[in-house]
Amino acid sequence: GKGGHRHFMAKEIFEQPQVIGDTLNAMFNPAERTITLPDLPFDLGAVPRITMIACGTASLAGLVGKYWIERFAGVAVDWDLASEFRYRAPVMAEGGLAVFISQSGETADTLAALRYCKQQGQHCLAIVNAPESSIAREADAVLPTLAGPEIGVASTKAFTTQLVVLACLAIALGRARGTMDRETEARLSGTLTEVPSRAAEVLNHDGRIKALAEETITPARDVLYLGRGTSYPLALEGALKLKEISYIHAEGYAAGEMKHGPIALIDDSVPVVVIAPSDDLFDKTASNVQEVVARGGKAVVFSDAAGVARLKDLALEAIALPAVDPFVAPILYAIPVQLLAYHTAVDKGTDVDQPRNLAKAVTVE
Ligand code: M6R
Protein backbone atom coordinates (compact mmCIF):
# COMPACT_ATOMS: atom_id res chain seq x y z
CA GLY A 1 0.00 0.00 0.00
CA LYS A 2 0.79 3.65 0.10
CA GLY A 3 1.54 3.73 3.80
CA GLY A 4 -1.15 6.32 4.51
CA HIS A 5 0.03 8.59 1.71
CA ARG A 6 -2.12 9.67 -1.19
CA HIS A 7 0.38 8.52 -3.78
CA PHE A 8 3.30 6.11 -4.00
CA MET A 9 5.48 9.07 -4.91
CA ALA A 10 4.76 10.75 -1.56
CA LYS A 11 5.36 7.51 0.31
CA GLU A 12 8.65 7.05 -1.50
CA ILE A 13 9.77 10.63 -0.86
CA PHE A 14 9.06 10.19 2.85
CA GLU A 15 10.92 6.85 2.98
CA GLN A 16 14.17 8.54 2.05
CA PRO A 17 15.66 8.99 5.54
CA GLN A 18 15.24 5.25 6.08
CA VAL A 19 16.50 3.95 2.73
CA ILE A 20 19.40 6.39 2.55
CA GLY A 21 20.48 5.03 5.93
CA ASP A 22 20.00 1.40 4.85
CA THR A 23 22.05 1.93 1.69
CA LEU A 24 24.85 3.66 3.56
CA ASN A 25 24.93 1.16 6.43
CA ALA A 26 25.70 -1.65 4.00
CA MET A 27 29.02 0.09 3.17
CA PHE A 28 29.95 2.16 6.23
CA ASN A 29 32.01 0.84 9.16
CA PRO A 30 31.15 2.99 12.18
CA ALA A 31 34.17 1.94 14.25
CA GLU A 32 36.80 3.02 11.72
CA ARG A 33 34.63 5.54 9.85
CA THR A 34 35.59 3.91 6.58
CA ILE A 35 33.72 2.74 3.49
CA THR A 36 33.92 -0.87 2.30
CA LEU A 37 32.49 -1.85 -1.06
CA PRO A 38 31.54 -5.44 -1.87
CA ASP A 39 34.47 -7.43 -3.34
CA LEU A 40 35.15 -6.37 -6.90
CA PRO A 41 36.67 -8.62 -9.59
CA PHE A 42 39.13 -5.86 -10.60
CA ASP A 43 41.51 -3.45 -8.90
CA LEU A 44 39.69 -0.20 -8.21
CA GLY A 45 43.00 1.54 -7.56
CA ALA A 46 44.28 0.74 -11.06
CA VAL A 47 41.34 2.16 -12.99
CA PRO A 48 42.73 4.81 -15.38
CA ARG A 49 39.43 6.40 -16.37
CA ILE A 50 35.71 5.99 -15.79
CA THR A 51 32.69 6.16 -18.06
CA MET A 52 29.37 6.85 -16.33
CA ILE A 53 26.30 5.78 -18.29
CA ALA A 54 22.56 5.93 -17.56
CA CYS A 55 19.23 7.47 -18.62
CA GLY A 56 16.96 10.09 -17.08
CA THR A 57 17.17 10.65 -13.36
CA ALA A 58 19.79 7.91 -12.98
CA SER A 59 22.01 9.83 -15.41
CA LEU A 60 21.70 12.90 -13.21
CA ALA A 61 22.86 10.91 -10.19
CA GLY A 62 25.77 9.90 -12.41
CA LEU A 63 26.57 13.53 -13.17
CA VAL A 64 26.83 14.28 -9.45
CA GLY A 65 29.00 11.15 -9.21
CA LYS A 66 31.33 12.54 -11.88
CA TYR A 67 31.84 15.76 -9.91
CA TRP A 68 32.50 13.81 -6.71
CA ILE A 69 34.87 11.25 -8.21
CA GLU A 70 36.92 13.85 -10.04
CA ARG A 71 37.18 16.03 -6.93
CA PHE A 72 37.74 13.39 -4.28
CA ALA A 73 39.47 10.57 -6.14
CA GLY A 74 41.17 12.47 -8.97
CA VAL A 75 40.01 10.07 -11.69
CA ALA A 76 38.67 11.44 -14.99
CA VAL A 77 35.03 10.57 -15.55
CA ASP A 78 33.30 10.69 -18.92
CA TRP A 79 29.57 11.08 -18.51
CA ASP A 80 27.13 9.82 -21.11
CA LEU A 81 23.47 9.28 -21.75
CA ALA A 82 23.04 5.63 -22.67
CA SER A 83 20.97 6.49 -25.75
CA GLU A 84 23.80 8.65 -27.09
CA PHE A 85 26.66 6.46 -25.95
CA ARG A 86 25.45 3.32 -27.69
CA TYR A 87 25.21 4.97 -31.09
CA ARG A 88 28.45 6.96 -30.96
CA ALA A 89 31.92 5.58 -31.37
CA PRO A 90 32.98 6.14 -27.77
CA VAL A 91 36.68 5.93 -26.98
CA MET A 92 37.47 4.37 -23.64
CA ALA A 93 40.73 3.78 -21.83
CA GLU A 94 42.12 0.26 -21.75
CA GLY A 95 41.28 -1.36 -18.43
CA GLY A 96 38.78 1.42 -17.78
CA LEU A 97 35.73 1.19 -15.59
CA ALA A 98 32.22 1.68 -16.93
CA VAL A 99 29.53 2.45 -14.35
CA PHE A 100 25.86 1.85 -15.20
CA ILE A 101 23.16 3.35 -13.01
CA SER A 102 19.59 2.09 -13.18
CA GLN A 103 16.69 1.73 -10.80
CA SER A 104 14.92 -0.97 -12.81
CA GLY A 105 18.01 -2.63 -14.22
CA GLU A 106 16.00 -3.13 -17.42
CA THR A 107 16.39 0.13 -19.32
CA ALA A 108 17.07 -0.94 -22.90
CA ASP A 109 19.63 1.72 -23.79
CA THR A 110 21.58 1.26 -20.56
CA LEU A 111 21.63 -2.50 -21.02
CA ALA A 112 22.83 -2.13 -24.63
CA ALA A 113 25.60 0.22 -23.46
CA LEU A 114 26.64 -2.33 -20.83
CA ARG A 115 26.87 -5.08 -23.45
CA TYR A 116 28.97 -2.83 -25.68
CA CYS A 117 31.35 -1.96 -22.84
CA LYS A 118 31.77 -5.61 -21.89
CA GLN A 119 32.63 -6.40 -25.46
CA GLN A 120 35.20 -3.58 -25.37
CA GLY A 121 36.84 -5.13 -22.31
CA GLN A 122 35.78 -2.47 -19.81
CA HIS A 123 35.20 -3.45 -16.19
CA CYS A 124 31.46 -3.07 -15.76
CA LEU A 125 29.98 -1.99 -12.47
CA ALA A 126 26.22 -1.61 -12.03
CA ILE A 127 24.43 0.53 -9.46
CA VAL A 128 20.95 -0.98 -9.49
CA ASN A 129 17.89 -1.14 -7.31
CA ALA A 130 16.38 -4.33 -8.77
CA PRO A 131 18.82 -7.11 -7.82
CA GLU A 132 17.26 -9.67 -10.16
CA SER A 133 17.45 -7.44 -13.21
CA SER A 134 19.27 -7.90 -16.53
CA ILE A 135 21.77 -5.12 -15.80
CA ALA A 136 22.55 -6.60 -12.36
CA ARG A 137 23.03 -10.04 -13.90
CA GLU A 138 25.23 -8.99 -16.77
CA ALA A 139 27.54 -6.58 -14.96
CA ASP A 140 30.87 -7.75 -13.52
CA ALA A 141 29.85 -6.42 -10.11
CA VAL A 142 26.87 -4.74 -8.49
CA LEU A 143 26.63 -1.99 -5.92
CA PRO A 144 23.03 -2.19 -4.77
CA THR A 145 20.79 0.70 -3.84
CA LEU A 146 18.61 -0.51 -0.99
CA ALA A 147 15.66 1.73 -1.79
CA GLY A 148 13.14 -1.12 -1.91
CA PRO A 149 10.53 -1.25 -4.66
CA GLU A 150 9.88 2.10 -6.31
CA ILE A 151 6.38 2.20 -7.77
CA GLY A 152 5.86 5.84 -8.73
CA VAL A 153 7.08 6.51 -12.25
CA ALA A 154 8.96 9.55 -10.97
CA SER A 155 12.21 8.35 -9.49
CA THR A 156 12.79 9.71 -5.97
CA LYS A 157 14.28 7.34 -3.41
CA ALA A 158 16.15 5.50 -6.16
CA PHE A 159 17.90 8.78 -7.01
CA THR A 160 19.00 9.64 -3.48
CA THR A 161 20.21 6.10 -2.80
CA GLN A 162 22.11 6.15 -6.10
CA LEU A 163 23.80 9.29 -4.82
CA VAL A 164 24.73 7.54 -1.57
CA VAL A 165 26.32 4.66 -3.50
CA LEU A 166 28.20 7.06 -5.77
CA ALA A 167 29.46 9.03 -2.77
CA CYS A 168 30.77 5.78 -1.28
CA LEU A 169 32.32 4.83 -4.63
CA ALA A 170 34.12 8.20 -4.75
CA ILE A 171 35.52 7.61 -1.26
CA ALA A 172 36.50 4.00 -2.02
CA LEU A 173 38.20 5.08 -5.25
CA GLY A 174 40.11 7.80 -3.42
CA ARG A 175 41.39 5.33 -0.88
CA ALA A 176 42.21 2.64 -3.43
CA ARG A 177 44.25 5.14 -5.46
CA GLY A 178 45.94 6.61 -2.44
CA THR A 179 44.58 10.08 -3.24
CA MET A 180 42.44 10.30 -0.10
CA ASP A 181 43.92 10.20 3.40
CA ARG A 182 42.29 8.46 6.35
CA GLU A 183 41.23 11.73 7.91
CA THR A 184 39.36 12.87 4.81
CA GLU A 185 37.71 9.48 4.48
CA ALA A 186 36.54 9.63 8.10
CA ARG A 187 35.28 13.19 7.65
CA LEU A 188 33.41 12.53 4.41
CA SER A 189 31.88 9.27 5.54
CA GLY A 190 30.93 10.97 8.81
CA THR A 191 29.00 13.63 6.88
CA LEU A 192 27.14 10.85 5.05
CA THR A 193 25.98 9.32 8.33
CA GLU A 194 24.24 12.59 9.20
CA VAL A 195 22.16 12.59 6.02
CA PRO A 196 19.23 10.44 7.24
CA SER A 197 18.42 12.77 10.14
CA ARG A 198 19.00 15.89 8.04
CA ALA A 199 16.72 14.41 5.36
CA ALA A 200 14.02 13.95 7.97
CA GLU A 201 14.37 17.64 8.87
CA VAL A 202 14.02 18.59 5.21
CA LEU A 203 10.75 16.67 5.06
CA ASN A 204 9.43 18.98 7.80
CA HIS A 205 9.33 21.74 5.17
CA ASP A 206 6.65 19.81 3.26
CA GLY A 207 3.82 22.21 4.19
CA ARG A 208 5.75 25.29 3.17
CA ILE A 209 6.84 23.71 -0.11
CA LYS A 210 3.22 22.72 -0.83
CA ALA A 211 2.12 26.33 -0.38
CA LEU A 212 4.97 27.49 -2.59
CA ALA A 213 4.01 24.95 -5.28
CA GLU A 214 0.38 26.10 -5.28
CA GLU A 215 1.09 29.83 -5.21
CA THR A 216 4.07 30.07 -7.51
CA ILE A 217 4.63 26.95 -9.62
CA THR A 218 1.11 25.76 -10.55
CA PRO A 219 0.19 29.03 -12.30
CA ALA A 220 3.46 29.13 -14.28
CA ARG A 221 3.82 28.12 -17.91
CA ASP A 222 7.59 27.80 -17.76
CA VAL A 223 9.92 27.26 -14.82
CA LEU A 224 13.69 27.52 -14.75
CA TYR A 225 15.96 25.68 -12.33
CA LEU A 226 19.51 26.87 -11.70
CA GLY A 227 22.50 25.48 -9.85
CA ARG A 228 26.28 25.31 -10.00
CA GLY A 229 28.70 22.50 -9.27
CA THR A 230 26.87 19.48 -7.85
CA SER A 231 23.75 21.65 -7.65
CA TYR A 232 23.69 21.78 -11.46
CA PRO A 233 22.58 18.14 -11.84
CA LEU A 234 20.05 18.88 -9.10
CA ALA A 235 18.65 21.73 -11.19
CA LEU A 236 18.32 19.32 -14.11
CA GLU A 237 16.63 16.79 -11.84
CA GLY A 238 14.21 19.40 -10.46
CA ALA A 239 13.19 20.38 -13.98
CA LEU A 240 12.81 16.75 -15.06
CA LYS A 241 10.62 15.92 -12.06
CA LEU A 242 8.39 18.94 -12.66
CA LYS A 243 7.80 18.36 -16.37
CA GLU A 244 7.34 14.63 -15.93
CA ILE A 245 4.50 14.78 -13.41
CA SER A 246 2.97 18.27 -13.66
CA TYR A 247 3.41 18.75 -17.43
CA ILE A 248 4.73 22.26 -16.87
CA HIS A 249 7.60 23.15 -19.15
CA ALA A 250 10.76 23.35 -17.09
CA GLU A 251 14.44 23.65 -17.86
CA GLY A 252 17.45 23.09 -15.71
CA TYR A 253 20.52 25.18 -16.39
CA ALA A 254 23.98 25.60 -15.03
CA ALA A 255 23.70 29.00 -13.35
CA GLY A 256 26.75 30.24 -15.25
CA GLU A 257 25.03 29.52 -18.57
CA MET A 258 22.23 32.03 -17.90
CA LYS A 259 23.97 34.83 -19.74
CA HIS A 260 24.57 32.55 -22.71
CA GLY A 261 20.92 32.44 -23.70
CA PRO A 262 18.26 31.50 -21.19
CA ILE A 263 18.26 34.85 -19.42
CA ALA A 264 16.33 36.13 -22.44
CA LEU A 265 13.35 34.10 -21.20
CA ILE A 266 13.15 35.78 -17.84
CA ASP A 267 10.22 38.02 -17.06
CA ASP A 268 7.80 38.30 -14.16
CA SER A 269 5.88 35.22 -15.27
CA VAL A 270 8.83 32.85 -14.93
CA PRO A 271 9.64 31.37 -11.53
CA VAL A 272 13.33 30.54 -11.19
CA VAL A 273 14.13 27.82 -8.68
CA VAL A 274 17.67 28.21 -7.40
CA ILE A 275 19.54 25.38 -5.68
CA ALA A 276 22.15 27.20 -3.62
CA PRO A 277 23.64 25.50 -0.58
CA SER A 278 26.38 27.50 1.16
CA ASP A 279 29.48 26.23 -0.60
CA ASP A 280 32.40 27.82 -2.41
CA LEU A 281 30.19 28.59 -5.40
CA PHE A 282 27.45 30.33 -3.41
CA ASP A 283 28.56 33.89 -4.24
CA LYS A 284 28.54 33.16 -7.93
CA THR A 285 25.05 31.69 -7.78
CA ALA A 286 23.90 34.64 -5.65
CA SER A 287 24.94 37.05 -8.37
CA ASN A 288 22.92 35.03 -10.87
CA VAL A 289 19.91 35.43 -8.57
CA GLN A 290 20.51 39.17 -8.66
CA GLU A 291 20.48 39.11 -12.47
CA VAL A 292 17.24 37.13 -12.50
CA VAL A 293 15.54 39.51 -10.09
CA ALA A 294 16.80 42.55 -11.98
CA ARG A 295 14.85 41.25 -14.99
CA GLY A 296 11.67 40.78 -13.02
CA GLY A 297 12.14 37.03 -12.47
CA LYS A 298 10.65 35.45 -9.36
CA ALA A 299 13.46 33.67 -7.55
CA VAL A 300 12.61 30.73 -5.32
CA VAL A 301 15.73 29.84 -3.36
CA PHE A 302 16.59 26.60 -1.59
CA SER A 303 19.58 27.20 0.66
CA ASP A 304 20.55 27.01 4.34
CA ALA A 305 20.17 29.68 7.04
CA ALA A 306 23.34 31.52 5.98
CA GLY A 307 22.36 31.50 2.31
CA VAL A 308 18.77 32.51 3.03
CA ALA A 309 20.02 35.45 5.11
CA ARG A 310 21.96 36.62 2.06
CA LEU A 311 19.16 36.17 -0.48
CA LYS A 312 15.86 36.61 1.33
CA ASP A 313 15.44 40.27 0.37
CA LEU A 314 15.95 39.47 -3.29
CA ALA A 315 14.00 36.26 -3.53
CA LEU A 316 10.24 35.84 -3.69
CA GLU A 317 10.67 32.89 -1.35
CA ALA A 318 13.75 31.43 0.34
CA ILE A 319 13.60 28.19 2.26
CA ALA A 320 16.35 27.33 4.75
CA LEU A 321 17.30 23.66 4.78
CA PRO A 322 19.67 22.31 7.42
CA ALA A 323 23.28 23.42 6.94
CA VAL A 324 25.40 20.46 5.84
CA ASP A 325 28.84 19.77 4.45
CA PRO A 326 28.71 20.68 0.72
CA PHE A 327 29.72 17.08 -0.08
CA VAL A 328 26.31 15.71 0.94
CA ALA A 329 24.22 18.71 -0.14
CA PRO A 330 23.04 17.10 -3.41
CA ILE A 331 21.44 14.24 -1.50
CA LEU A 332 19.47 16.62 0.73
CA TYR A 333 18.55 19.16 -1.94
CA ALA A 334 16.95 16.43 -4.03
CA ILE A 335 14.10 16.32 -1.53
CA PRO A 336 12.70 19.86 -1.83
CA VAL A 337 12.70 19.66 -5.64
CA GLN A 338 10.83 16.36 -5.44
CA LEU A 339 8.27 17.87 -3.06
CA LEU A 340 7.87 20.95 -5.23
CA ALA A 341 7.10 18.82 -8.28
CA TYR A 342 4.84 16.51 -6.30
CA HIS A 343 2.67 19.24 -4.80
CA THR A 344 2.43 21.07 -8.11
CA ALA A 345 1.24 17.90 -9.83
CA VAL A 346 -1.29 17.14 -7.09
CA ASP A 347 -2.55 20.70 -7.31
CA LYS A 348 -2.91 20.40 -11.09
CA GLY A 349 -4.71 17.09 -10.72
CA THR A 350 -2.43 15.03 -12.93
CA ASP A 351 -1.88 11.30 -12.52
CA VAL A 352 1.13 11.63 -10.24
CA ASP A 353 2.18 8.00 -10.02
CA GLN A 354 1.52 7.20 -13.66
CA PRO A 355 2.02 10.34 -15.71
CA ARG A 356 0.83 10.23 -19.30
CA ASN A 357 3.11 8.76 -21.97
CA LEU A 358 5.61 7.38 -19.45
CA ALA A 359 6.56 3.88 -18.32
CA LYS A 360 8.40 2.95 -15.15
CA ALA A 361 11.02 1.01 -17.07
CA VAL A 362 11.83 1.99 -20.64
CA THR A 363 12.55 -1.42 -22.08
CA VAL A 364 12.26 -0.32 -25.69
CA GLU A 365 14.73 2.07 -27.29
O1 M6R B 1 15.17 2.28 -14.33
P2 M6R B 1 16.16 3.33 -14.73
O3 M6R B 1 16.80 3.98 -13.54
O4 M6R B 1 17.19 2.83 -15.70
O5 M6R B 1 15.31 4.44 -15.46
C6 M6R B 1 15.92 5.55 -16.05
C7 M6R B 1 14.90 6.61 -16.39
O8 M6R B 1 13.93 6.09 -17.27
C9 M6R B 1 14.20 7.17 -15.17
O10 M6R B 1 15.09 7.66 -14.22
C11 M6R B 1 13.24 8.31 -15.55
O12 M6R B 1 13.97 9.41 -16.02
C13 M6R B 1 12.36 8.67 -14.37
N14 M6R B 1 10.96 8.47 -14.67
C15 M6R B 1 12.56 10.07 -13.87
O16 M6R B 1 11.80 10.35 -12.73
Distance CA 156, CA 164 (A): 13
Question: What is the CA(93)–ligand 1 centre distance, in A?
Answer: 27
Q: Is the CB of 362 under 6 A from ligand 1?
A: yes
Give the pLDDT score at 34.
96
Give the pLDDT score at 23.
98
Residue with CA nearest ligand 1 atom 11: 56
What mean pLDDT, rounded, does the chain reach? 97
Q: Is the CB of 141 under 6 A from ligand 1?
A: no
Catalytic annotation on 348? no
End-to-end CA distance of the chain: 31
- 97-102 and 50-54: which strand pairing? parallel
Question: What is the CA(319)–ligand 1 centre distance, in A?
Answer: 28
What is residue 40's DSSP assignment? -
pLDDT digits (tens, 9 = 90+) for 253-300: 999 999 999 999 999 999 999 999 999 999 999 999 999 999 999 999
User: For residue 130, which atom of ligand 1 is closest to its CA?
Assistant: 1
> Is residue 232 pLDDT above 90, yes or no?
yes
Distance CA 238, CA 248 (A): 12
Residue with CA nearest ligand 1 atom 8: 56
Residue 26 sits at the vertex; the CA angle it makes with 24 and 29, to the nearest 5 degrees, is 85
ipTM of the prediction: 0.99
